[in-house]
Amino acid sequence: MIIQGLMNKLTRLSLMGFLLFAADASQPAKAQVKEAKKREDTGMRNQSLIERGRYIVEGVAMCERCHTPRDEHGNPERTNWLQGGPVQTEPTYPAPTWATREPRIAGTPPGTDAEFITLMTTGISRTGRPPNPPMPPFRMTRADAEAVLAYLKSLHH
């Protein structure tokens, strides 16, 4: 009787130990699932941010008008999308600071990310002055500037 009671107690302790071990062992699996879900959510947020940036760059700011070379018919060259090049427009007034070349903005725009965000939100370039015309001094929200940056960085050439 004593042995049987001791065996039942040992069996219960062993079973409880096993269950605790199994529960603890499942934690990394739960953590991996949670991390995968977080990456998926971040990826969807990033894709949403990139799409918002694409809308602003292509549909609102029309960045390709200056930052994309044109073919002989005046159409933007998609193979050189936002790769910069000679300015396509000339001023209608004397403008000694008028830019002659537009920088590449696809992939990694000039300057740091913080400098780019400052340019897009305040209209002040990394030189501490407004950009040379024909670049407009944008006053985007930070969220829009971050979306534009995310889109431009998604363009790998």
pLDDT of residue 73: 93
DSSP secondary structure string, 11-74? HHHHHHHHHHHHHHHHHHHHHHHHHHHHHHHHHHHHHHHHHHHHIIIIIIS-THHHHS-B-TTS
Burial track 3-28 (b if 16+ CB lie within 10 A, e otherwise):
eeeeeeeeeeeeeeeeeeeeeeeeee
pLDDT of residue 6: 46
pLDDT at 5: 55
Q: Smallest Cα–Cα separation from 114: which of 142, 81, 135, 88?
A: 142
Per-domain boundaries in the chain: 42-154
Instruction: State the pLDDT at residue 19.
Output: 47
| Amino acid 89: pLDDT | 87
How confident is the model at residue 153, as a pLDDT?
Answer: 96
What pLDDT is attached to residue 47?
94
Mean pLDDT by 10 residues, the chain (157 residues): 54 52 55 54 76 97 93 92 91 92 94 96 96 94 97 87
